[in-house]
Amino acid sequence: MVRIPASRTAVPALPAWHVPRPALWQRLAAARPGQLVAVTAPAGSGKSVLLAEWARHGSPGDADPVTAWAGLDRDDADPDRFWAVVLAAVLATGAVPADDPLRGPAGADPADALLEGLEGLGRLRRPLRLVLDDVHVLADRQAGVRALARLVRHRPAGVQLVLAARSDPAVGLPRLRLEDGLRELRADGLRFSLDATAALAAASGVALDADDVATLHRRTEGWAAGLRLALVTMRRDGAEGADGPRTFLTQFSGDDRSVADYLGGELLAGLARDDRALLDDLSVCRRLPDALAAALTGRPDVARRLEELAHGLGMVERTGPGEHHVHALLRSHLAADLARHRPEHHRRQHAVAARWWADHAEPTHALRHADRAGDPALTAELLGRLAVPLLLRGELPALRRALAAAGTAAQRDDPHLALAAALAHLDAREHAAAVARLRLVAQTWPAAPDPDLVALRTAAELLVGTRSPDTGRDGAGPDDPGLAGLLHLARGTALLAASPADPATARTELHRALAPARAGGLVRLEVATFAQLALAAVAEGDPGGVPGPGEAAVATPGPPARTARTVALLAWSDLLRGDPRRAAERCEDVLDLPDRLAPADRCALGAVHGAAVGDLGRRGAGLGEARAARVALGDAPLPAPVAGAIALLEHRAALLLGNLRVAGEVAAWLAERVGDTPEGVLMRAWTDAATGRWETARAGVAPLRRSVRCPATVLVEAALLDAEAALRADDAARGRAALDAALAAGRDRDLVRPFALAGPRTRALLLEPLSTGEHAHRVAAACAAVTAEPAPPLSERELVILALLPTLLDAPTMAEELVVSVNTVKTQIRSIYAKLGVTSRRGAVTAAQERGLLV
């Protein structure tokens, strides 16, 4: 008589670190009568723990089942032992009556007797659930497999049969699936979720934050044994403190001693040599298309073999049509073992993968494998054809790593690499380094370059600013559509950077760049093109044209610093369309981020934010912020359209506070950067108007109103200034005509803010119910919100007196210092008080500081 230890038929105790997973066992409990329940997953997936938890809980049915548990071992592949274990498990439940035939002698055929006896258990008050754990151990002997198959085939109606195995048992599972006779849970269903991972860490006594939990989950792919081994190691080795868990988790892999021992003992020990060699060859790749697997192994049938391993080993799975995945910990264990014991083969496999990915338009994967192959020559070879796709997709980190791996000598010898390096430097706003790389290109330029190389150099030189956008249009274009798109982007960018800018032609070039960007999935090219289209709208003074391309540019995931300038353009659009609060919020979202912003982007954001703050009622603080942003820019480059737009904002803010000194400073700054522009002409006219010279101002803007290349913002402002001058000269007809022209242009471009800042007589006319439409109502609302008139500017002599007010000098001493009479000083002090709206010396100093008149 076969004796079965009681431990083999007892439901296992739940470990102290157990995390309840009721959703999983409830899925199993939903099996219909007659369905076989199968839990199939690799070692360490938590099969036994899950089934033990299920055995300890009720069932959705009318009566809770009695669980009979049979933990199998390899000896149970003998049919007599197998049936003896099953019988012992059933009897151990205590649910079989003393007089039941199952308690009698086994008879000639114990299988027949047991199956007949189990059939009779259907009359019991409580149904029976029979769990066979580790049924994969029977696979070594056909007799054991046949015994199990017989139990499955003739399973009694009153017994729910549950199988747990590391691989699919040979009991006709495909047929059962087809007949809807199977309820199964596989490895993907047993994986721990993020929440369950966090709960397991807490139950294991390891404190992890959300980021650490996500890293642990990613590196283990939710595999229970991997999670537990990592947590045990962390607790044992004291990986605590602010960075302790993070440091451990970023290095945790299948090469960790505890994981390697488990994988070697539980998964790989029984693996056939041919299968181990196949997995070794595949271990260098995270993603594993079947065609790549065939290239790595030289086996055309590798896909079929991977499917067999998926059902047998369990740590291999199909992730999609024609693609498989080896579990991350198993893969990293095999790769580390291969690198240690067969380093040349390890490097060769990476080189094979590098070339395969390069041939299949996956440059990042290709260059990563080339780097791991330790072959700079291979990296340089692949970069020659992969650099442009990397640039246009926005995969700049991969490109920079590859350029560093190839070395500076490769860039000196290959103009392709030098040009790629120049464009990478430009993307990082490293202008001087980009120019240096272009000098290398000139030194190694071939006598007969191909069209693609010519196009790449032309694009780089246009973007750097060393080539005119009007040159290089003749000759054959590039064969590569992406490169053609880059060339159109470069021309459009150069046209916008020119002085004066040519936004109309630039827009044509930019739209030609969009088609290949979209067709080729070239995200970075598309985003850069949209950003330049937004800039073209700014160059045309068209705030209504910014949101479309601007929102498209910033919608693509990526570091906020990359889209900071476009955010500034969107905020400018909000401001000019009459929504200063939204403009301020946009700027704050980026200015508050820790990412390093380029000087030009920080300047644009600061200028727009300052103007928005001013419109919201804090004009002094707004002007101070805009001025500080401009000063901080220094000599850093800034696109001419942006310079013109933000100069107008700061100049107007200064005049609203009566600060002629800062207004003059801004005008000089813009002239020095971009020369004489429509914005500069407008600022001179504004200054004339602020000092009461309205007819001089009107004459100054007359040429602007006749210009065909003047930004719409400048045209509208010029018309509004003309309208105010006419109204002040009591020429109502001319004033109304100029205002109507301003309204028509403003409506076309969705401009609102200029009308709110127009002269008082013009605003009074705008408040009359003469116009209809949504734009007119927004203009009227903006005008009605204006509560303060521009401050009158201080004269040069008054500014001199103002500078002395913070001192302890009295009026006679000031007069002596300035060689004027005391009465003159007192008269000028009274004028200063009146213009600043104060009644005391201290009040004058405070108000002057708020307006930026005193620094």
Q: Which residues, at least 6 apart from 804, have a Cβ–Cβ distance to it below 8 Å?
A: 814, 817
Residue 773 φ/ψ region, left for φ over 0, alpha for ψ in the -120 to 50 degree band, beta for the rest:
left
What does the pLDDT read at residue 242?
45
Domain boundaries, the chain: 6-190, 194-252, 676-793, 796-850
List, in sequence order, every residue forming a beta bridge with 490; answer none if it has no partner: none
**Helix H or strand E encompassing 497:** helix 481-497
CB 227 within 8 A of CB 329: no
3-state secondary structure of 185: strand
CB 175 within 8 A of CB 153: no
3-state secondary structure of 143: helix
Report pTM.
0.72
Quote the DSSP letter at residue 819. T
| Bridging pattern class, strands 128-133 and 36-40 | unpaired
Quote the DSSP letter at residue 844. H
Place of tokens 């945790």: 252
DSSP string for residues in 206-258? ----HHHHHHHHHHHTT-HHHHHHHHHHHHHHT--SSSHHHHHHHH-STTSHH
CB 296 within 8 A of CB 285: yes
Dist. CA 462–CA 829, nearest whole Å: 56
Provide the token pair at 536. 């073209």
Place of tokens 């085939």: 153
Amino acid at 529: T
Residue 195, number of CB atoms within 10 A of its CB: 11
Rg (CA), the chain: 39
Dist. CA 635–CA 673, nearest whole Å: 9
CB 717 within 8 A of CB 682: yes
pLDDT means per 10 residues, the chain with 855 residues, are 80 91 89 89 91 79 77 88 86 78 64 69 73 90 88 82 90 89 91 93 90 91 90 75 69 86 82 90 93 94 88 83 91 93 95 95 92 91 88 88 87 89 88 90 89 91 87 69 93 88 92 92 92 95 95 83 90 94 92 79 95 90 92 90 95 90 93 92 93 92 84 94 94 92 92 92 81 81 71 79 81 81 84 81 81 74
3-state secondary structure of 823: helix
Dist. CA 520–CA 611, nearest whole Å: 40
Dist. CA 721–CA 371, nearest whole Å: 64
The CATH class given to the 6-190 domain equals: alpha beta
List, in sequence order, every residue forming a beta bridge with 129; answer none if it has no partner: 67, 160
| Bridging pattern class, strands 66-71 and 128-133 | parallel
What does the pLDDT read at residue 476?
64
List, in sequence order, every residue forming a beta bridge with 164; answer none if it has no partner: 39, 133
User: Which phi and psi (to 5°) does residue 70 adopt?
Assistant: -125, 110
State which fold the 796-850 domain adopts.
Arc Repressor Mutant, subunit A (1.10.10)
3-state secondary structure of 794: coil
Provide the token pair at 562. 């990359």
What does the pLDDT read at residue 595?
63
Closest listed residue to residue 169, CA positions, set 36, 23, 359, 336: 36
Is the fold of 6-190 the same as that of 796-850? no
Q: Evaluate the omega torsion of the peptide bond into residue 449 and state whether it is cis, within 30 degrees of 0.
A: no
CB 749 within 8 A of CB 717: no
CB 561 within 8 A of CB 524: no
C-alpha distances (whole Å) from 217 to each of 220, 336, 603 are: 5, 21, 42
Kindly report the CA angle at 694 between 692 and 697, in degrees rounded to 5? 115
Kindly report the CA angle at 39 between 33 and 41, in degrees rounded to 5? 165
Dist. CA 591–CA 203, nearest whole Å: 41
